[in-house]
Amino acid sequence: VNASSVPRRPGGKARVWWDWLRGVVLRADEVLRFDLHQRAQHFLLMVSVLVLTFTGLPEKFWDFGPSQAFISFLGGLERVQDIHHIAAYVMGLSCVYHALYLIRPIFIEGKLFVLGMIPRIKDFLDLFQTIRYWLGFADNGPRFGRYSYLEKFDYWAVFWGVAIMAGSGAILMWPELATRVLPGGVVLMAYAAHSDEAVLAVGWIFLVHIVRAHFFPGVFPFNTSIFTGRVPLHRYQEEHPLEYEAMLKKGRAEEPSGARDNPAGKGPAR
């Protein structure tokens, strides 16, 4: 093969990796569910939440022996709080990133709410259908679009949780500043809120979110889609049939047996 006759993109191996990361190149049997921005946001959020959890919980349950052992292992409360604050800034960064990501389509496509996270009436009907399915009144669960109602719930839980945690955390970090504009009672309120909302967030992440995302039939033991952005086509068909059909309808998806360069790789309809 004459190398010069094959058009090659510049950049060599790094370019190949970059293209893979962005999802420009996809296999025929996979769909790009999350673009690089979404994956990067999730990664920043995940890392910061894990660090915040492991530095925050020992502070909340400081009376518990292992907490104190862990705190002194890290070098004392001051050090633990420093780490907690750095992780909080990383979480704030992921929020700013997401906010920019949300308003970007307004300028590009002139459209708002392109993520499809806004709850619709269908979501409530879907929940009703799920309950019927659980109880055996229906043979099938609901057919979901891009995001199921549980995934939307998950998203808004983070939205709410981050707002509460960051707001109360900022008050606790700068109580002198906060009480210049707010009544003094907010410090104690923030203390209670920060501590209690943390338990809700950690409980939800470890007992619901991780279990539902990873420890479920079909994906057990680890669901890689939020890290690679890719979902196998057959699973996409099962889990998000309406979205899949919409992709087919638009002519942007083909059967798995189809072309090597899957147009669906450009990402689901937005």
Partner 1 sequence: MSRWLHRAAWGLPLALLFLLLISEPAGAQERCLVCHQLRGLVLTLPSGEKLPATVDRTAYEASAHGEVPCTDCHGDRPSPHPKTTYNSLGEYRVGLAQTCGDCHQEAEGAWEQSVHGKAVAGGQTAALCSDCHQPHGTVEPSLVALFTPTCGSCHQVVIDSYLKSVHGQAVAQGKTDAATCVDCHSREQKAHTLQAGREAGSPSSQKEIPLTCGRCHPKPLASYESTFHGRDWRLGVRGEEPTCIDCHGSFGIQPAHGPETSMTVDRLSSICGRCHQGTTVSFAQGWPGHEEPSPNHFPLAYYTERFLIYLTAGAMAFGILHVELDLLRWWVDRRRGRTK
Q: Which of 216, 227, 249, 261 binds partner 1 (CB under 8 A)?
A: 216
Instruction: Identify the burial level of 165 via C-beta atoms within 10 angstroms of its C-beta, where 0-12 means exposed, 13-18 middle and 19 or more buried.
Output: buried
Pairing of strands 30-32, 230-232: antiparallel
Q: Which residues pair with 230 in a beta bridge?
A: 32
- Of 38 and 130, the one with the shorter C-beta distance to partner 1 is 130
Binding mask 75-104 for partner 1 (x = CB under 8 A): xxxx--------------------------
Q: Which of 19, 109, 196, 261 binds partner 1 (CB under 8 A)?
A: 196
Q: In the bound complex, what is the minimum distance in angstroms from residue 183's beta carbon to partner 1? A: 6
Q: Which of 182, 219, 226, 269 binds partner 1 (CB under 8 A)?
A: 182
Q: In the bound complex, what is the minimum distance in angstroms from residue 155's beta carbon to partner 1? A: 14
Structure tokens at 133: 């399915």
The answer to the question of residue 188 lying near partner 1 (CB under 8 A) is: yes
Structure tokens at 85: 């604050």
Q: How far apart are CA 56 and CA 197, in angstroms?
A: 12
Nearest to 196 by CA among 223, 171, 160, 165: 165
Q: How far apart are CA 244 and CA 235, in angstroms?
A: 10
The answer to the question of residue 18 lying near partner 1 (CB under 8 A) is: no
Among the residue ranges 8-16, 29-37, 190-198, 256-264, the one whose residues contact partner 1 (CB under 8 A): 190-198
Amino acid of residue 80:
V
DSSP state of 111: -
Summarize as ranges the residues that interact with partner 1 (CB under 8 A): 59, 62, 68, 71, 75-78, 130, 133-134, 141, 150, 157, 172, 175-177, 179-180, 182-189, 191-193, 196-197, 199-200, 203-204, 207-208, 211-212, 216-217
